[in-house]
Structure 1
Amino acid sequence: MLPLKRLPKRLFLLGFAVALLPLASCANSPLGETLQRSLAADPQLEENPVLFGGTPTPEATPDGVAELPANFPAEIPRYPGAELVEVIQPNGDNPNAEVQTRWQTSDPIEQVRRFYQEAFASDNWNLDQSVEEAIAAARDGLRVTVAPVSNAATLTAATPTEFTLQYAFTSDAAVSSELTNSPRNSASDNSTSDNSASDDADETAAVPQPGDPDFIGPVPPADFGTDANSDAAARPTSQRFSDLDQAPEELRQYVTDLAELGVFGDQASNEFKPNQEITRREYARWLVAANNLIYGDRPASRIRLGNGSSQPAFQDVPRNDPDFAAIQGLAEAGLIPSPLSGDSTTVTFRPDAPLTRENLILWKMPIDTRQTLPNASLEAVQQTWGFQDTARIDPKALRAVLADFQNGELSNIRRAFGYTTLFQPKKTVTRAEATAVLWYFGIQGEGLSAKDALQTEQRTEQQTERPPQQQPASQQSNQQPNQPSGSQSR
């Protein structure tokens, strides 16, 4: 039976008219007038369609598009191309209550499940294997559950796939999420000052720091602070490692020079672990540090670091990530694929995943050439390098690999891997191999190495420490400004 409020108005009145036919003869009587007034339409009901205590229809979002909550945690990966359909907010003001979002995509649910499983696993989330069908993960007090809708098994290939993403966090994680998604920490009600320095200090204190039990990630180098872009920023101290004898002999000097230059920062351990896989975040950090230290006297050649007011380029590298400055700086400079460079499918960086050979070259070559990479094809790379596995190289990396060949003996591939007929693009890179690539920046005749930077630094220090030589007045009058002693003016 249809609800009463859904009956057409005419049918509703017709029923009453039939019931009142016997009273028609009394229309002109006092009883008839009373009945007419009692059955007249209520003007309030005409303006308000809610009948008999019913619930009003929720208001639609602007343009009918659902919007994520303002405090949606940035560390939760979002499936590429998925459309947000609905957001169900919990009742009340409890910040720890679970929020449910519903998404739609044309991809099969197995592909969605595989994406989230890999994204959570590569970003140090703890996966709950006891959950069937759905994927549940937790990290830093934040719990996320991704599950297909109830009728996903009956969907056809032409029907869009729908899945829900639910999340809930503890009070500590909620505070951290607010700090991540807002440019200022507004939690302090006691302060009436608009001092931005104190706001930044409060935000930093709320984020886990190195040494805290909740801290995740390596310790950032000393030059990645707020003033890292400044000429007055202090250079990290040099460091000597006790395990360089484990590195291939051809690569030891590269590690030594970069360590003396301070590229690796102030590490607590004196072990370099040269044969250990390097992560994507470590390479990004070293890449920026090496370039900026080697080009220390050339501000125009440095890579600017991302700052705390920037919108994160990647969903899995929030502003409180220890390597946000370097990764964001590379993305904003267009040196690595990201949505900022037009690559809308690369929404995550996977900072803790191992670095592959093709990405090692892909990220480095744009900094070497300082110009657009040449067009490349499989045939061109095959003819130049002669790699047997050229077809396995990602199309994005082909241009970088071809440009690297044009650098001759200063090629990154030759310096890191020596002579080889197999590039093995998906093979992971060791820490020692990465240093070989980062030891030199530029192209033939227009580049600088870490050794060059050290020699320049030593000359500068010697000139600073050497006291000026006093010369007779007769010689001083004949010598040009800034001309070395003993040279003749022209």
Structure 2
Amino acid sequence: MLAADPRLENNPAIAFSTGNNNRNQPTPNPNIQLPADFPPEIPRYPNAQLQEVTQSTTRWTTSDPMNAVQSFYQNELQTNNWDVSQSTQEGILEAQQNGLRVTLAIPATTNQSSTAESNLAGNTEFTIQYTRDTTAAASPSISAETDNVPQPGDADFIGPVPSQQNEQTAQSVDSTGQQTNTPQTFNDTNQAPQELRQYLQDLIALGVLPLQATSKSSAPTTQFEPSKTVMRREYARWLVTANNQFYASSPAQQIREASSSAQPAFQDVPSSDADFPIIQGLAEAGLIPSPLSGSSTTVLFRPDAPLTREQMILWKVPLDTRSSLPNASVEAVQQTWGFQDAAKIEPRALQAVLADFQNSDRSNIRRVFGYTTLFQPKKTVTRAEAAAALWYIGSASEGVSAQEALRLQQSGTSQATSESLSPTTEYD
């Protein structure tokens, strides 16, 4: 009975969880079950309760501190021969094995120095996102099938020479020499909620929702997955692309992409990252918190972490107001929006939430979430919800919608086509 617990040798998390105050243990929700496609090879934290399930993302809560959760997954993944590619003090852990990619995200607290103490006193929330790459296994068979197919230049080749146009190019050049976005085609937009479907369709028609950075070569996809959680790097990419497309004729309103020679604002977004010009550009414009804007503790961007509601509003509203955010308090947000959970919103996001209220029916919160008395600031955002937020940029009195931008784009294309087809020679 007095011998050391042998479990401590292989499971450091027990050292933190044993003796933990059980009265803080979150209550399980019997109505929430793991999705059928949840990979069984992903380790399950023994002291966590499932709180929310979205497409390819699960959210958990435990009364154990965040360092216990991190230690458990670090140990389990390495023991089971996972390739752990990134581990930071901000609570992000990425690993992959046999085409399965897993991202563990533990949202950092506002006071970084007291993270462990605050988590010991309350509950730790973390999300697990998983994606499985099925193209790697398919590629060899496709290659084998085409190895013996005659190619142009062979004596046995019969047929037309394939077009050299790159169908994967995310941008094209119009008749004026200006770069424009080529719309992608997705066959699952009908899976988006009815209230958000038209917003999503308008933005897709504009071509402002690229799923990959333009500098990456990847096979085109026909699946947008509207219910999938949007990542921070994806939303940053869409935010810049939508703004610059809406204000295509107003260079002064556009967000400039950063040069590859710029000193990185974030430690986890180097200049070699495909999305560096956009993320760095947002930081240099002061539109997202970074050391450049005075947020000395925000040294990581966490590009592959899920986007939360408060982050979505914090990044978007400055584009709507085109001015500094107003001073805000929990009481002011409670009086205007009536949010019961206003105290859970970070101070900087409080300012954006209060400014968004002044846009009346044009506000992002009303457009995306409808009427609600709970903001749920830490809840993750789906791709369809992120698209709805970007559908309109501006204030209640002045702005541009995706529908208007699409109409202008179509009229400009028609005019350019008409001019290119205008006769230069008179015919009888």
Common fold: TM-score over 0.5:
yes
- Answering whether residue 200 of structure 2 is matched by residue 255 of structure 1, we say yes
**Rg bigger for which structure?**
1
Match of 1:428 in 2: 380
Structure 2 counterparts to residues 79-118 of structure 1, below 5 A: 114=67, 117=70
Structure 2 counterparts to residues 410-489 of structure 1, below 5 A: 410-466=362-418
Structure 2 SS opposite 1:269: coil
CA distance in 2, matches of 1:237, 1:359: 28
Give 1:116 shift: 11
CA distance in 1, matches of 2:366, 2:335: 16
| Alignment deviations for residues 374-420 of structure 1 (CA, whole Å, 9 cap, x no partner) | 11011110000001111111111000000000000000000111111
Give 1:361 shift: 0.1
Match of 2:61 in 1: none
Give 1:233 shift: 4.7
Structure 1 SS opposite 2:230: coil
Give 1:308 shift: 0.7
Structure 2 SS opposite 1:296: coil
**Structure 1 residues 454, 344: CA separation in 2 closer, same or farther (over 3 Å shift)?**
same
CA distance in 2, matches of 1:280, 1:406: 26
| Alignment deviations for residues 175-219 of structure 1 (CA, whole Å, 9 cap, x no partner) | xxxxxxxxxxxxxxxxxxxxxxxxxxxxxxxxxxxx999xxxxxx
Question: Does the 8 Å CA contact 1:222/1:266 hold for their aligned counterparts?
Answer: no
Match of 2:232 in 1: 280
Match of 1:379 in 2: 331
Question: Does the 8 Å CA contact 2:287/2:318 hold for their aligned counterparts?
Answer: yes
Question: Does the 8 Å CA contact 1:358/1:425 hold for their aligned counterparts?
Answer: yes
| Alignment deviations for residues 36-75 of structure 1 (CA, whole Å, 9 cap, x no partner) | xxxxxxxxxxxxxxxxxxxxxxxxxxxxxxxxxxxxxxxx
One-letter amino acid of the structure 1 residue matched with residue 242 of structure 2: A
CA distance in 2, matches of 1:265, 1:348: 23
Unaligned runs of 5+ in 2: 1-64, 90-112, 114-134, 138-167, 213-219, 424-428
One-letter amino acid of the structure 1 residue matched with residue 85 of structure 2: R
Structure 1 SS opposite 2:409: helix
Structure 2 counterparts to residues 41-60 of structure 1, below 5 A: none
**Structure 1 residues 234, 266: CA separation in 2 closer, same or farther (over 3 Å shift)?**
farther
Structure 2 counterparts to residues 34-73 of structure 1, below 5 A: none
Match of 1:76 in 2: none
Question: Does the 8 Å CA contact 1:285/1:323 hold for their aligned counterparts?
Answer: yes
Give 1:274 shift: 0.5
**Structure 1 residues 360, 143: CA separation in 2 closer, same or farther (over 3 Å shift)?**
closer
CA distance in 1, matches of 2:180, 2:208: 9
Identity %: 57
CA distance in 2, matches of 1:422, 1:456: 37
CA distance in 1, matches of 2:242, 2:269: 21
Match of 1:331 in 2: 283
One-letter amino acid of the structure 1 residue matched with residue 187 of structure 2: S
**Structure 1 residues 253, 292: CA separation in 2 closer, same or farther (over 3 Å shift)?**
same
Match of 1:482 in 2: none
**Structure 1 residues 462, 129: CA separation in 2 closer, same or farther (over 3 Å shift)?**
same
Question: Does the 8 Å CA contact 1:305/1:326 hold for their aligned counterparts?
Answer: yes
**Structure 1 residues 265, 137: CA separation in 2 closer, same or farther (over 3 Å shift)?**
closer
Match of 1:47 in 2: none
Taking structure 1 as the reference length, the TM-score comes to: 0.51
CA distance in 2, matches of 1:386, 1:272: 34
Give 1:138 shift: 4.6
Match of 2:293 in 1: 341
CA distance in 2, matches of 1:221, 1:374: 41
| Alignment deviations for residues 128-149 of structure 1 (CA, whole Å, 9 cap, x no partner) | 3599xxxx98539x999xxxxx
CA distance in 2, matches of 1:409, 1:143: 40
One-letter amino acid of the structure 2 residue matched with residue 249 of structure 1: Q
Select the residue among 139, 146, 154 that pairs with 2:85: 139
Match of 2:358 in 1: 406
**Structure 1 residues 266, 437: CA separation in 2 closer, same or farther (over 3 Å shift)?**
closer
CA distance in 2, matches of 1:462, 1:233: 16
**Structure 1 residues 117, 319: CA separation in 2 closer, same or farther (over 3 Å shift)?**
farther
Question: Does the 8 Å CA contact 2:211/2:234 hold for their aligned counterparts?
Answer: no
Select the residue among 181, 185, 201 that pairs with 1:240: 185
- RMSD between superposed Cα atoms in Å: 3.7
CA distance in 2, matches of 1:281, 1:115: 27
Select the residue among 249, 254, 271 that pairs with 1:319: 271
Structure 2 SS opposite 1:235: strand
Structure 2 counterparts to residues 187-202 of structure 1, below 5 A: none
Give 1:240 shift: 2.6
Match of 2:3 in 1: none
Select the residue among 236, 251, 262 that pairs with 1:310: 262
Question: Does the 8 Å CA contact 1:137/1:143 hold for their aligned counterparts?
Answer: no
**Structure 1 residues 462, 138: CA separation in 2 closer, same or farther (over 3 Å shift)?**
closer
Give 1:113 shift: 8.9
One-letter amino acid of the structure 2 residue matched with residue 242 of structure 1: N
Question: Does the 8 Å CA contact 1:237/1:265 hold for their aligned counterparts?
Answer: no
Question: Does the 8 Å CA contact 2:258/2:280 hold for their aligned counterparts?
Answer: yes
- Answering whether residue 170 of structure 2 is matched by residue 222 of structure 1, we say yes
Match of 1:367 in 2: 319
Give 1:244 shift: 1.4
Question: Does the 8 Å CA contact 2:183/2:204 hold for their aligned counterparts?
Answer: yes
CA distance in 2, matches of 1:255, 1:143: 34
Aligned residues: 275
One-letter amino acid of the structure 2 residue matched with residue 239 of structure 1: Q
One-letter amino acid of the structure 2 residue matched with residue 323 of structure 1: D
Question: Does the 8 Å CA contact 2:310/2:377 hold for their aligned counterparts?
Answer: yes
**Structure 1 residues 241, 138: CA separation in 2 closer, same or farther (over 3 Å shift)?**
closer
| Alignment deviations for residues 94-128 of structure 1 (CA, whole Å, 9 cap, x no partner) | xxxxxxxxxxxxxxxxxx9939949x98xxx9953
CA distance in 1, matches of 2:285, 2:88: 34
One-letter amino acid of the structure 2 residue matched with residue 343 of structure 1: S
One-letter amino acid of the structure 2 residue matched with residue 402 of structure 1: L
